Amino acid sequence: MRSFIIITVLSALAACYGTVLPSEEKVSRGYTMIYDDMSPDGRIASSVELEFISDGYILLSWGALRAPAVAGQIQYISKVYKAEPGNTISSVVITHSIPPALVLRTPLGRNSSKVSITSYRGQGINATISTYGRE
């Protein structure tokens, strides 16, 4: 009876794990993270949300970050943006075609932004960063 309960619980956990995290196939093709007022810690966005983000926001900056893969090495890359006086950064959208090991960014609500991306050992970086303000 005890082993039946353990198997049932593990099956339920496995089913939940698959629905909460994106599939490995989707992540390997890339994904987009949105950091804004509703989700300051970020959320994975669908293509519908990406179209919606343009409503009520003004694109302040866009940039492509690329660093080639080098065997055995970790790549680091950063993007800094400083808005005009009076403009504040309300949203940052980061699209990765290669999942990074680490993404660090400054908090929203300021007039400057810094995003730093670190790759896994032996992988490159291929990302775009869009910075938005409110209309």
List the pLDDT tens digit at each of the 135 positions of the chain: 666 565 665 565 555 444 444 443 344 457 889 888 888 888 888 766 666 666 778 899 999 999 999 999 999 999 999 988 888 999 999 998 888 899 999 999 999 999 999 999 999 999 999 999 987
Q: How far is CA 35 from the centre of its chain?
A: 8
d(CA 29, CA 12): 27
Q: Residue 46 has what pLDDT? A: 74
Q: Which two tokens stand for residue 110?
A: 């300021």
Beta carbons within 8 Å of 50's beta carbon, 6+ residues apart:
32, 34, 93
What is this structure's pTM? 0.72
Coil vs helix vs strand at 22: coil
Strands (E), the chain: 31-35, 43-45, 57-67, 76-82, 91-96, 102-105, 112-118, 125-134
Q: Residue 72 has what pLDDT? A: 94
First to last CA, the chain: 61
Q: Residue 51 has what pLDDT? A: 65
Degrees, nearest 5: CA angle 125-65-86? 140
Q: Residue 79 has what pLDDT? A: 94
